[in-house]
Amino acid sequence: MLLLNDIKPEMSIFYCAALLIKEIKSEEGQDIVTLYKKGKDKYHISLKVFAYCLDWLFLIEAAIVDKEGRVFLCT
């Protein structure tokens, strides 16, 4: 699912996570629901892929989610 050879690259977790990073940079501190709605509307990211992307960004220590559900990039 991270890197797939048989589907479009736009469906990979790496690509979608990069798009989410772009959205987080534009307005840091937005909540998860708002970030999902932007990803869904702009890039047609499904909820499943969105969750995988946030997990991936958390695992590589690129993003964090605070107790209120706001998403921030790590420095």
pLDDT per position as a tens digit, 25-73: 998 899 999 999 999 999 999 999 999 999 999 999 999 999 999 999 9
Residue 60 forms part of a structural domain: yes
Residue 23 forms part of a structural domain: no
Give the structural domain span for 70: 28-75
Q: CB–CB of 63/50 below 8 Å?
A: no
Tokens 């990803």 appear where? 39
pTM for this model (two decimals): 0.85
Instruction: Count the domains in the chain.
Output: 1
Residue 42 forms part of a structural domain: yes
Beta strands in 1-75 (DSSP E): 63-65, 71-73
